[in-house]
């Protein structure tokens, strides 16, 4: 069994895998890390291997705690990947994006795939039928857009996500909701359309914290999945253990 740990900007996601099947998943704040790991150890004593992916600052003591308990792979750009990485600056590439591409290789082998991860940022990553990864794009996520409008202007309020009734905002708050929500929807639909013009048989994966909200409102056909990044990390771990 494998323990998969994804440390994000806001929350930490943990998954326990038996082979390729996820049997346990939990989302926590970092201060609950040690207690949660202890409970997982007690409930799943057969876990032998672990992988840690951190785009935030995971305390060194937590990493050492995992390493003392399991045979641990700490993900970075030097770890062997199940695809050819053609990114020009691999050392600057977010390791969460590597995991997403690994999941696409595992589950959609031999296909052109665009992976969209909608969280704090929206990332777009593309791998082709030859399992070559080229890169993609990064843009602000929903909450970052709300926050930016408030932080970088004098009078715009900080609002929470609300579905606008139409494109024409008749108040400042309605205008912000329209700009943020419809703006990100049009952006994602537009990116998908551009890729489809080049790759007609494109498979599109939507994942991340805002995937459920967005998937119901996008025009293009997509696969929405909440565990894609964890599955990709598990595949990277298995790939390295089998080499």
Q: Which residues are annotated as a binding site for ATP?
A: 6-13, 120
Q: Annotated binding site for substrate: which residue ranges? A: 87, 94-97, 172
Classify residue 57 by burial, with Cβ atoms within 10 Å: 0-12, 13-18, 19+.
Answer: exposed
In the chain, where do the E strands start and end? 2-7, 12-18, 21-28, 49-54, 71-74, 84-85, 113-118, 121-127, 132-140, 203-207, 223-224
Assigned token pair, 64 = 């050492």
Q: Annotated binding site for K(+): which residue ranges? A: 117
Q: Which of 96, 106, 112, 125 is catalytic?
A: 96
Q: Does 210 qualify as catalytic in the annotation?
A: no
- Please give the full DSSP string across 107-162, using - where no structure is assigned: HSTTS-EEEEEESSEEEEEEE-TTSEEEEEEEEE-HHHHHHHHHHTSSSPPP----
Q: Which positions are annotated as active-site residues? A: 96
């Amino acid at each position: 069994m494998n323990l998969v740990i994804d440390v994000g900007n806001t929350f930490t996601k943990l998954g326990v895998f038996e082979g390729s099947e996820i049997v346990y998943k939990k989302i926590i704040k970092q201060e609950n890390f040690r207690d949660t790991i202890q409970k997982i150890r007690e409930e799943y004593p057969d876990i032998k291997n672990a992988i840690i992916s951190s785009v935030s600052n995971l305390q060194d003591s937590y990493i050492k705690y995992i390493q003392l308990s399991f045979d641990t792979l700490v993900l970075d750009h030097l770890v062997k990947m199940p695809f050819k990485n053609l990114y020009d600056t691999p050392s600057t590439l977010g390791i969460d994006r590597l995991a997403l591409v690994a999941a696409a290789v595992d589950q959609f082998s031999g296909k052109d795939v665009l992976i969209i991860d909608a969280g704090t940022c929206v990332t777009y990553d593309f791998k082709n039928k030859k399992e070559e990864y080229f890169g993609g794009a990064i843009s602000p996520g929903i909450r970052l857009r709300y926050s930016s409008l408030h932080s970088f202007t004098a009078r715009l309020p900080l609002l929470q996500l609300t579905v606008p009734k139409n494109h024409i905002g008749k108040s400042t708050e309605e205008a912000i909701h329209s700009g943020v929500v419809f703006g990100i929807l049009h952006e994602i639909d537009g990116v998908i359309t551009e890729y489809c013009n080049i790759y007609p048989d494109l498979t599109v994966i939507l994942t991340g914290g805002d995937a459920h909200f967005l998937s119901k409102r996008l025009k293009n056909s997509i696969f929405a999945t909440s565990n894609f990044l964890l599955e990709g990390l598990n595949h990277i771990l298995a790939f390295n253990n089998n080499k």
